Amino acid sequence: MRRAQGFELLPAAVTVVALVERVTRGELVDLALVDLTPEITLAVLSELKDAMQFCKVVLWVNEISTELAYQAMGMGVRGILRKRLPADWQLESLQKVLAGELWFEKALTDSFLRSKRVVLTKREGEMVSLLSQGLKNKEIATELGIAEGTVKVYISRLFDKVGVQDRFELALYGLKNLTSGGLPLGKDGQRAPASAMPGLRSLVLDGPSGKLAA
């Protein structure tokens, strides 16, 4: 990229926080190529997009689930780029995004068409997000300030709405929509607080144990 015309390569930001701080200090960034690590969740992408409203964000991935790709595109991510692509293809892809185009490979966009999308209410999205963190009904009730019995009713309705048999399967769908493969961890290495996971507004269902898009 340093040898390519039209690019000025800035020093890499090791963390998302470092990137946001640089942008908020006024450093002009036209395009951010973000490595899709387990720490990059929808909540992180949302924060990144809010802080970098005039910057085009491209995710740099080995693999990505259909669900997370769909959610990321809906949030305004301009492209998803495979690391295994030849260097000249990667460069061409980034140039297209800079020119105002989108870059999503056909296999990925085709998988969007094959997937089922279930629209969630705000409360249902919060339920799925908290369930994906491994919280029990009592803990979910405490987080949301509602009765434990109300949580049971919501989760039972979600089983029917999403078409799953148990909370484990529902949590798998939630994880695939929220993260790149694992739950984010806090600074102490423990589970991140509930606020680190956004409430989903929809679930994209491509099979919780299905293969990722080729």
pLDDT tens track of the chain, all 214 residues? 777 777 888 888 888 888 888 877 777 888 999 998 887 877 788 888 887 778 899 999 998 888 788 888 888 899 999 999 998 899 999 999 989 999 988 888 887 777 777 888 888 888 888 888 888 999 999 988 999 999 999 999 999 988 888 998 888 888 777 765 444 444 444 545 555 555 667 777 765 444 333 3
* Alpha-carbon span 154 to 147, nearest angstrom: 11
Residue 6 lies in a domain: no
Residue 11 lies in a domain: no
Residue 7 lies in a domain: no
Residue 82 lies in a domain: yes
Range of the domain at 193: 116-205
Residue 192 lies in a domain: yes
Total-model pTM: 0.64
Same structural domain for residues 124 and 162?
yes
Identify whether the C-beta of residue 199 lies closer than 8 Å to the C-beta of residue 51: no
Across 62-115, the runs of DSSP E, i.e. the strands, are 79-82
By residue count, the chain amounts to 214
Q: What pLDDT does residue 10 have? A: 86
Supply angle C-alpha 43, 49, 51, rounded to 5: 105
CA dihedral of residues 126, 196, 105, 120 (deg, nearest 10): 10
Tell me the pLDDT tens digit for each residue of 56-94: 999 999 988 887 888 888 888 999 999 999 988 999 999
15 C-beta neighbours (distance < 10 Å), count: 10
Relative to beta strand 202-205, strand 116-119 is antiparallel
Same structural domain for residues 37 and 107?
yes
Same structural domain for residues 81 and 169?
no
Look at residues 61, 82, 114 and tell me which one is the last residue of a structural domain: 114
Residue 174 lies in a domain: yes
